[in-house]
Amino acid sequence: MDENWCERIVLDPAVMAGKPVIRGTRIPVELVVRMLAQGVSEQDIRAEYPRLQPEDVRAALAYAASVLAQEEVFPASVSP
């Protein structure tokens, strides 16, 4: 699923100001990831948003991981 997220996640300036959303919806990836981080189960998320498929939830996580993998990190020096 790592790279298959691009089949389910879209960025369209005309939808939610260009935020990444689940294809065919106005459900932002951020919302799905945030709900999972808050401990909401996938089943509860899908009950709240019935258009979501299990693959959509996994795609949201894969997209978030992909974005983080591209993030540049500059270690700060720590003085003893």
User: How confident is the model over 58-67, as a mean pLDDT?
Assistant: 94
pLDDT digits (tens, 9 = 90+) for 23-54: 999 999 999 999 999 999 999 999 999 999 99
Domain boundaries, the chain: 4-69
Pairwise pLDDT comparison (69 vs 39), residue with the higher score: 39
Angle between helices 54-69 and 29-37 (to 10 degrees): 90
Residue pair 45/36 in contact by the 8 Å Cβ criterion = yes
Mean of the pLDDT values across residues 61-72?
A: 91
Question: Six-digit token pair at 75?
Answer: 């270690």
Mean pLDDT over the full length of the chain: 92
Report the b/e string of 10-43 with b at 16+ CB within 10 A.
beeeeebeeebbbeeeebbbebbbebbeeeeebe
What predicted TM-score, i.e. pTM, was given to this entire model?
A: 0.84
In CATH terms, the fold of domain 4-69 is: Arc Repressor Mutant, subunit A (1.10.10)
Residue 2 pLDDT exceeds 70: no
